[in-house]
Chains A and B, each alone.
Chain A
Amino acid sequence: MKKAIASIAFGLMAASFVATGASAQATLASVKQKGYLTCGSNTGLAGFGLPDAQGNWTGLDVEFCRAIAAAIFDDPTKVRFIPLSAKDRFTALQSGEVDVLSRNSTVTMSRDTQLGLDFPAVNYFDGQGFMVRKKLGISSAKELNGASICTQQGTTTELNLADYFRANNMKYEVVAFATSDETFKAYDAGRCDAFTTDASGLYSERLRASNPDDHIVLPEIISKEPLGPAVRHGDNQWGDIVRWTHNAMLDAEELGVTKANVDQMKGSDNPEIKRLLGTEGKFGEAVGLTNDWAYRIVKHVGNYGESFERNVGEGSKLKIKRGLNAQWTKGGLQYGLPVR
Chain B
Amino acid sequence: MQSVVSPTSPPKRSFLYDPNVRGIFYQVLLICVVGYLFYMAATNVVENLQRAKIASGFGFLDVTAGFDISQTLVPFSAAGSTYRDAFIVGLLNTLIVSAIGIVFATILGFTIGIARLSTNWMVAKVAMVYVELLRNIPLLLQLLFWYIAVLGPLPQPRDSFQLGAGFFLNSRGLFMPRPVYGADIWAVVAAFAIGIVGTVLFRRYAKRQQEATGRQYRVGFVSLALIIGLPVATWIVLALASVNPVSFDMPQKGTFNLRGGMQILPEFVALLVGLVTYTAAFIAEVVRAGILAVSKGQTEAANSLGLKSGQTLRLVVIPQAMRVIIPPLTSQYLNLTKNSSLAVAVGYPDLVQVFMGTVLNQTGQAVEVVMITMGVYLTISLVTSFVMNIYNRRVAIVER
Contact = CB atoms under 8 A, between A and B. Distances in A.
A87 B171 contact: no
A178 B353 contact: yes
B61 interface: no
A114 interface: yes
B152 interface: yes
Interface in B343-384: 344-345, 347, 349, 352-353, 356-358, 360-364, 366-367, 370
A136 B41 CA distance: 56
A12 interface: yes
Contact of A148 (B54, B153, B257, B367): B257
A12 B52 contact: no
A90 B52 contact: no
Interface string A169-212: 00011111110001001100111010000000000000000000
B53 interface: yes
A293 B66 CA distance: 43
A65 interface: no
B44 A146 contact: no
B357 A153 contact: yes
Contacts of B49: 116
A4 B353 CA distance: 11
Given A1-B344, A114-B363, A189 B148 contact: yes
Most buried by B among A15, A163, A232: A15
Contacts of B218: none
B266 interface: yes
B130 interface: no
A24 B52 CA distance: 8
B92 to A, nearest CB: 17
Contacts of A233: 52-53
B266 A191 contact: yes
Interface string B41-74: 1101100110111110000000000111110000
Interface stretch (A154-162, A221-229, A261-269, A319-327): A154-162
Contact of A145 (B152, B255, B349, B366): B255
A85 B136 CA distance: 29
Contacts of B69: 174, 176
Contacts of A143: 255
A36 B115 CA distance: 60
Interface string B137-157: 000000000001000110010
Given A1-B341, A8-B366, A176 B349 contact: yes
B70 A174 contact: yes
Contacts of B17: none
Contacts of B353: 153, 176, 178
A11 interface: yes
Contacts of A178: 344-345, 347, 353, 357
B44 A16 contact: yes
B345 A182 contact: yes
B149 to A, nearest CB: 10
B164 interface: no
Q: What range describes how many residues of A lie at the interface? A: 35 or more
Nearest to B364: A115
Interface residues of B, number: 50
B208 interface: no
B54 A186 contact: no
A175 B267 contact: yes
Contact of A86 (B152, B257, B341, B361): B361
Contacts of A16: 41-42, 44-45, 48
A90 B360 CA distance: 10
B344 to A, nearest CB: 4
Most buried by B among A146, A172, A232: A146
B156 A90 contact: no
Nearest to A3: B140
Contact of A173 (B53, B66, B257): B257
B48 A15 contact: yes
B358 A116 contact: no
B26 interface: no
A19 interface: yes
B271 to A, nearest CB: 13
A148 B342 CA distance: 23
B297 interface: no
Nearest to B78: A162
Contact of B148 (A8, A22, A172, A185): A185
B45 A15 contact: yes
Given A1-B344, A9-B370, A146-B257, A158 B67 contact: yes
B361 A154 contact: yes
B172 interface: yes
B51 A190 contact: no
27 contacts: A4-B344, A5-B352, A5-B356, A8-B366, A15-B48, A17-B44, A20-B51, A111-B364, A116-B53, A136-B256, A146-B257, A146-B259, A147-B256, A147-B257, A153-B357, A154-B357, A155-B361, A159-B67, A173-B70, A173-B172, A174-B69, A175-B347, A176-B347, A178-B344, A182-B345, A189-B171, A191-B172
